[in-house]
Chain A
Amino acid sequence: MIQSSFTERNLRVLFPLPAIVFIGLLMVFPILYTLYLSFTNWNLTSGMGPSFVGLDSYLRVFSEPRFLHALGRTFTFTVFAVAVEVVLGVAIALILNRAFVGKSLAKLLLLLPLVATPIAVGIVFNLFYDPTIGLLNFTLDALGLPQGRWISSENTVIASLVMVDVWQWTPMITLIVLAGLAGLSEEPVEAARVDGASEWQILRYVTIPMVMPVILTAMILRLIDALKTFDIIFAMTGGGPGYASETLNIMGFKYSFEYFRIGQSSVILVALFLVVLLCSLGIMKLRESSEK
């Protein structure tokens, strides 16, 4: 009885404890270890252990144009992809937000890209984009449109990758916004209609503002994931041509597992970690203040 009341009194600690320990071991400890390694110059190819060099690795990585470009590119890719996804996703949700024959089938179709294995999606799109034997250029050619070099050109590679991301993740925005729309009450819309507002005005001044919080949340979820996009870039370009599609994630992977520069790769990983953390915190703060 006493024992059980001990359990009961401390349930708020005991229940989550295993999960906390697990995350502590598998996430917090590795991150601290990475942080420690970022102050060393450890290079596996040297055959020697890590030695402490202070901020040296930071200075070297931060002064590297390749790093700065990767950092910028991470943001370009993310902003570009998320912007398109939100606009398209919301638009599609607004279109589909009515009762129609085959609505549940349409929703099922929308789910498919979300559960498709990204690495396989990347590989399939690779063949699609191939400038010589790819289906995309063939179709353009057949339609009398100019062909592109897509992921083979420094100028179009990011846009081409964004298109794949958009294909895969726009449906998520759509589904979230659809769920949000379903939960709205009809009254404000009816009231506006009674007042003689046009459909466009209702959309612009009633419906969209009401689902805005949902749109924002969907956007945050996508933003955080887009910053970390890895699979499709790795499968399609590996960061190329040259470094033209190298994001922080890809660069960190290369430094870790191809160059074996553990010290410097740790700096890149810390940077990526901070980017994601700061972006998440920033957006959450923004949303809190917008809700108040």
Chain B
Amino acid sequence: MKKKFVPTLLFYLLVLIIALIVLFPFLWMLTSSFKTQVDIISWPPKLFFEPTLQNYRKVFEEQDFLKYFLNSTVVGAVAVGMSLLLGLPAAYSISRYAQTKLAVFILLARLMPGISFLMPWYIIFSRLGLIDSYVALILSHMLIALPIVVWIMSTYFSTIPRELEESAMVDGATRQMAFLKIILPLSGPGIITATTLSFIFSWNNFMFSQVLSMERTKTLPIAVYNFLSYAEVDWGGVMAAAVAIMAPAIILTMIFQKYVVKGLTMGAVKG
């Protein structure tokens, strides 16, 4: 047993403090979502209160959150699916032909501030009558998902030994067949990582949807932001809406924890 830098008792205390700080906003949000407006704005804040489901009822019954939920899901799923379709071959090519310049080009989309494409999109899509259409929204979200897919998958493909597809090619398969039949089936973990992460980023995106979606295609982040509706302040509803929007991303994260960590730390830590 090696001597550690921080003694054990102190260590657990520190871990506890860190955990509390990380968790605190979530807990507060969760408890507030079960409070009435009166309890939320009461001073001092109430630790003990009679829980109510009224806020959730408001969110799901009066505010049509199911529709926004569906919109977010559809936009995210289609954008991620299309990004995989475009991104997997591109990532393969980048990894096998060492196309660094191409990689940088695609990663620029991740680097660049979204608003510098958003304003021209708005004008162009408006001319095409595509504001508040799923097409425009999905295209914009693909620009979020595609670089993530390419970034993660090109790194992932590089970990698969070239010998695998080369031996298949010796047996007469074309390279594209080898990619489809041999490489892709081996890429499950990478694809899960890329899918989960890019879906979460699309799910959480606010700026693109705020401008490109209106009532019909409104996604959850916009619905949450718009919750402070005309002449009414409903903090309980806002908190319930916040819980509703974060829950799916958090559940996904719990299920795919390993992959999410890998995706987020990939690139920084080589291999």
Contact = CB atoms under 8 A, between A and B. Distances in A.
Interface of A: 4, 7-8, 11-12, 14-16, 18-20, 22-23, 26-27, 29-31, 33-34, 37, 92, 94-96, 98, 100, 102, 104, 106-121, 123-125, 127-128, 133, 135, 138, 142, 167, 171-172, 175-176, 178-180, 183, 193, 199-200, 203, 214, 217-218, 221, 224, 227-228, 230-231, 234-235, 249, 252-253, 256-257, 262, 265-266, 269-270, 272-273, 276-277, 280
B188 interface: no
Given A123-B227, A214-B269, 6 more contacts: A22-B86, A26-B117, A116-B25, A117-B204, A117-B245, A183-B269
21 contacts: A12-B93, A12-B97, A19-B89, A27-B143, A30-B116, A30-B120, A34-B119, A109-B19, A111-B253, A111-B260, A111-B264, A112-B250, A115-B252, A123-B227, A123-B238, A124-B25, A127-B235, A178-B265, A230-B206, A231-B207, A269-B115
Given A117-B224, A179-B261, A228 B114 contact: yes
B268 A221 contact: yes
Contacts of B211: 257
Contact of B176 (A8, A114, A217): A8
A269 B116 contact: yes
B197 to A, nearest CB: 9
B70 interface: no
Given A12-B99, A175-B264, A112 B26 contact: yes
Contacts of B194: none
Nearest to B267: A217
B150 A19 contact: yes
Contacts of A176: 264-265, 268-269
Contact of B206 (A33, A119, A203): A119
Contacts of A228: 113-114
B22 interface: yes
Contacts of A266: 119
Contacts of A23: 105-106, 108-109, 143, 146
Contact of A112 (B2, B22, B235): B22
B203 A117 contact: yes
Interface residues of B, number: 95
B123 A121 contact: no
B90 A15 contact: yes
A31 B116 contact: yes
Interface in B237-269: 238-239, 241-242, 245-246, 249-250, 252-254, 257, 260-261, 264-265, 267-269
A123 B224 contact: yes
Contacts of A114: 264
Contacts of A276: 111-113
B124 A33 contact: yes
B230 interface: no
Interface of B: 2-6, 11-12, 14-15, 18-19, 21-23, 25-26, 28-29, 32, 40-41, 43-45, 85-87, 89-90, 92-94, 96-97, 99, 102, 105-106, 108-109, 111-124, 139-140, 142-143, 146, 150, 174-176, 200, 203-204, 206-207, 211, 220-221, 224-225, 227, 235, 238-239, 241-242, 245-246, 249-250, 252-254, 257, 260-261, 264-265, 267-269, 271
Contact of B260 (A15, A115, A127): A115
A217 B269 CA distance: 8
B6 A95 contact: yes
Return the 6 tightest CB-CB contacts between A and B, nearest first: A15-B89, A16-B90, A30-B120, A19-B90, A15-B93, A120-B242
Contact of B246 (A15, A27, A30, A116): A116
A179 B120 contact: no
A112 B122 CA distance: 32
A272 B115 contact: yes
Contacts of B87: 19
Contact of B22 (A8, A171, A221): A171
B266 to A, nearest CB: 9
Given A16-B94, A117-B204, A124 B269 contact: no
Nearest to A271: B116
Contacts of B94: 16
A251 to B, nearest CB: 10
A133 B43 contact: yes
Given A23-B106, A94-B5, A249-B113, A16 B124 contact: no
